[in-house]
Chain A
Amino acid sequence: MNSRFEPIRSTPTVDSGRLTPRQNHEGPLPDQVEQKSSVGPGVGGVTGMVSEKTSESALGTQADKVGLDLEAVGWSATEQKREYPVYEPGEPVALFVPCYIDQFYPQIARATAELLTWLQVPVEFPSRQTCCGQPAFNSGYWKEACRVVHHFCETFAPYRWIVCPSGSCTAMCRVFFRHLDADARIIEIGQRVFELTEFLVECMGVGDVGARFPHKVTLHIGCHTRRELRVVEPPLELLRYVEGLEYVELPNMEECCGFGGTFSVKMPGLSMAMGQTKVENIIRSGAEVVVSPDISCLMHLSGILRRHPQGRNIRCMHIAELLVAEE
C-alpha cells in the first residue's frame, strides 16, 4: 500500500485502569533516543502502558512510529509541493460532473467539456456516474457514503485521468476516500481525480487558453480547494492570461464563505452570517463578476447577493464558464 495514504497512525492502547506510573521504565532517555532511533526507541516505555491483549499488535507497528528523530524533520522543512503527474497529449479524460452541477448548472459541465476539447483533450463521460459521497461523509453517515464511493470507483476504474469542475468533490475523492475505505485500490482511484484548474495548469502545463473577458473580476477559492488540495495558484494563473480581464483581489479571501454543505441548512444562521461577511467583501472589492473553481460556494453566495441591494447585479460564474465565454 502506498504509505502516504495509510489511515491515521495508531497509538498504543493505554491500560484503562487507574493512571499510576509503572515500575517498568527501562526505555532509553530522549537523548539516547535520538541517536538510535532506527531501532525503535521508547518500546520499553510503551510496554508498560500497553495492555496484555493488544501489546503485540501495538508494538509490532509502533516501533518505527514513535521514535523521536528531530534531525529527520530538519530545520528547513517547508510545506512540500505536490508532485503532479504529467498529462501526455491524446490520453482520454473522464469527466466527473458532481450531481449539483449536473442538475443545477449543466452549462458549467458543458463549458468544461468544450474547454478540454478545445485544448485537444479527448473527453469522455461515464454515464453511470452519480455522486462522490461527500454529503453523507460530512454528515457522519460513513457506511452510506462508502457504498456510494464504491459505486464511484467501479464507474471510474477504467480511466487514468478524471477531471472534475468542483474543488470540494475533488478533495472528497483525493483526500477523504482513505477515511472511508483503506483499500489501496479505492485510494488509488481517488488519487486520479483532479480539479479542472489544477489539471490544466499543473498536469497539462497550460496557462493561456485563448480566452477573452473584458470585465472586472474577483476570485473566490473554496476552503477544500485551498486547504485540502492546496490549489491556489492554478486559477490565478489561468485568469492572468485572459485578455481584457481586470483582476481585483477579494479582501480576506482565505476566509470561509459559510456554505459547508449540509452546514448551510443545519445551521443557517451561522452560515448566513459568514456568507454576509463574504458578500460585503465582494462588494467592497468593486468587482462585476465573482469567479470560482467551486460553484457550491457561489450557489450560496449568489443566493445572498441576489437579496442584497448593492450586490444584485454582481454575477457569479464558474471559472470554466469564464474561460469559454464569448464576451
Chain B
Amino acid sequence: MEAAPPETLRPGPSALMQGARFVKELTRGLAEPGQFGSLAQSAERSSKHNQQLIAAIPYFQSWREQAHQIKRYTLANLDKLLEEFERKITARGATVLYAQNAQEANEYLIRIIQDHHVRTVVKAKSMVSEEMELNHVLESVGVRAVETDLGEFLVQLAGQRPIHLVTPALHLSAADVGRLFQEKLGEPFTQEHAALTQIARKHLRRYFLEADLGISGVNFAIADVGAVCLVENEGNQGLSTSCPRVHVALMGIEKLIPSIRHLPVFLNLLGRSGTGQKLTTYTHLIYGSTPGRKLYVIVLDNGRTQLLRDPKTWTALFCIRCGACLNACPVYRRVGGWAYGWVYPGPIGAILTPQLVGLQEAGKLPFASSLCGACGEVCPVKIDIPHQLVHLRHRAVEEPSPVRSWPERIVWRMWAWAMCHPWMYRLVMRVVRLGTRLARFLPWHPGPLGAWTRGRELPEVPPGPDFRSWWKKHAHELKIFPSNLPPETPRS
C-alpha cells in the first residue's frame, strides 16, 4: 500500500491496554478481587472435571510429553515447516500471506475485502483476531463483522471483551443472557438454555447466509499435508468457513505442527484440557480452496519471533490455547480475564503479554501470581509457566518497566548485604522481632506491614530468644541415647 495506513489499522498496545487494571494501577488497587462469583465457580468446576477425566487415562502424561517434544521440534524448524505448509496448501489454490504485525494483517484483510467486494463478514472464534482488534478495524471501513461463536456473540452484544480463552462469556449467567437478548435483540425474556440457544441460532443463521466473507482462527496448521485444522462444538465454524465465498484463516506462526500423524495427540489433549471432552464435536480439516471459492491464510508474527529467541521463555509459544491454566489459576478465578489487560488472560497471558507487547506496558503481570504452580501442572504441552513467571519478574526489574524502582533495588541490595554477614543479619532480625512485637500495639501500620495487617494478625513472637541463641546455650543437651530408636517401621 502506497499511502500511509489510516490510524485505525494500527492497534497499538497502548490502545488495547486501556482499563488494564493489572498494568496501569498501583499495587493496592490492582490486587483487588473482582465480582465474579460465577466465574470462579465455573472455572473451578471445569478444572476439577478435566482433572478427573485426565486422571482416568494412564497415557496422559506421555501424551503431554509427546506434544511438548513435537512443539519443540516445530518451533526449532519453523522456517522449513512454514515453507512446506505454504507450498502444500498453495498448490490447492489457497493463498498464504505473512504479516509481521497486526497492522499488516489488517491491511491484507482490508485488501481482500476490497478485492472481493465484501459487505458482510461472519467471524468464528479466533484469538489472533483479538490481537488485531479486527472488529474495530472492520467497522472503520464500513464492514460489520458478526461473531458467530455463541460466547463471542454474547460478549459482542454486551460490548465487552472475552473473559476466557475458550469460554468467552463464562461470567454471564443464563439470566444475564436472557436480559441481554431482551435488550439488544428484542426477544422475550427467558433463562432456559434451550430457548436461548434457539434465539441465538435464529439470529445467526441469517448472517451465515448473507455473509460474503468468513473469518476463522486456526487450531493447528499441518505442514506435511498443507491443511488447517479447526475444532469446535457449535457448528458455527463449519458454517462460517463454508457458507461465504471467501474464507480467511488467521493464525500465529506457532500454530504449526509437522505432520498429520501428530494431530491425534493434540486433539486428545485439547479436548480434554479445554472443555473436558474426549473430542470436540466437530473437527474440520481444510485442505485448500474448493472451486469457485477462495481461501486465504494470514500468518501473523506480532512479536513471536522475538519471543522465540529467548531460550528461557520460548516454550510459551507451545501454547495450544486450551484454557486449562486459566481454570486452574486461583488468581484468574478471582480477577477474571479483563484484568490481564490484553488478549490473553490468566497465567499464559501473564507470560505472553509482557513478551508480545513489551515489559514497558505489561511488566506488572508476572507479579500477579503466588507462584503456586497449578498452571504448570495442568498445561497439556508442559509449558513451565511458574518458572517463566519468575524469569519475567527478573527481566521486569532489570529492563525499563513500571515495576523497576531504585528504592526497591536499594532495599534488596542492603538486604543481600546483611544476609551475607551473619552479625548484620542478627542485628537486623533483632530489630524486626522487636518491631513485630511492638507493632501489635499500634493502631496503624505503614507500607507492607499495613498490607499484611489489613486482614491478618501478625505472627506472635514467642518471648524467648531466637533459635541460634538457644542453640548456643542448649545444643549440648541434645544427646543421642541408643535406646531412643523406635522399633523398625516397615516402609510403605
Contact = CB atoms under 8 A, between A and B. Distances in A.
Interface in B418-472: 418-420, 422, 425, 429, 432-433, 436, 448-449, 451-452, 454-459, 461-462, 464-468, 470-472
A54 to B, nearest CB: 9
A77 B62 contact: yes
Give the size category of B's interface with A.
35 or more
A27 B81 CA distance: 10
A119 B311 contact: no
B76 A140 contact: no
Contacts of A110: 467, 470
A179 B390 contact: yes
Nearest to A12: B76
A218 B70 CA distance: 42
Interface stretch (B109-117, B139-147, B200-208, B372-380): B372-380
A105 B429 CA distance: 13
B370 interface: yes
A99 B490 CA distance: 35
Contacts of A118: 484
B65 interface: yes
Interface in A8-62: 8-16, 18-22, 25, 27, 29-31, 33, 42, 44-46, 48-49, 62
**Which one of B471, B484, B492 has the highest number of Cβ atoms from chain A below 10 Å of its Cβ?**
B471
A258 interface: yes
Interface string A197-221: 0000000011111100000000000
Contact of B373 (A67, A176, A227): A227
B282 interface: no
Contact of A131 (B309, B330, B419): B419
Contact of B468 (A9, A15, A66, A102): A102
Interface string A307-323: 10000000000000000
B91 interface: no
Given A73-B69, A267-B30, A273 B486 contact: no
B259 interface: yes
Contacts of B377: 227
B413 interface: yes
B442 to A, nearest CB: 16
Interface in B97-136: 98, 100
A140 B393 contact: yes
A166 interface: no
Interface stretch (A121-129, A183-191, A281-289): A121-129
A107 to B, nearest CB: 6
Given A16-B305, A179-B391, A260-B371, A103 B432 contact: yes
Interface in B51-108: 58-59, 61-62, 65-66, 69-70, 72-73, 75-84, 86, 98, 100
B72 A66 contact: yes
Contacts of B387: 8, 179
A300 interface: yes
A151 B419 contact: yes
A125 B65 contact: no
Contacts of A209: 486
A27 B370 contact: no
Interface in A254-289: 254-256, 258-261, 263-277
B317 to A, nearest CB: 9
Given A25-B80, A208-B489, A268-B452, A73 B65 contact: yes
B262 to A, nearest CB: 8
Given A49-B77, A129-B422, A179-B387, 10 more contacts: A9-B311, A10-B311, A19-B299, A30-B258, A76-B62, A78-B62, A141-B412, A144-B413, A237-B492, A264-B451
12 contacts: A14-B78, A30-B261, A78-B62, A104-B433, A105-B462, A131-B425, A140-B394, A140-B395, A260-B371, A260-B372, A261-B371, A273-B33
Interface of A: 7-16, 18-22, 25, 27, 29-31, 33, 42, 44-46, 48-49, 62, 65-70, 73-79, 97, 99, 101-107, 109-110, 113-114, 117-123, 125, 127-131, 133, 135-142, 144-145, 147-148, 150-151, 176, 179, 205-210, 223-224, 226-228, 237, 241, 254-256, 258-261, 263-277, 299-300, 302-304, 306-307
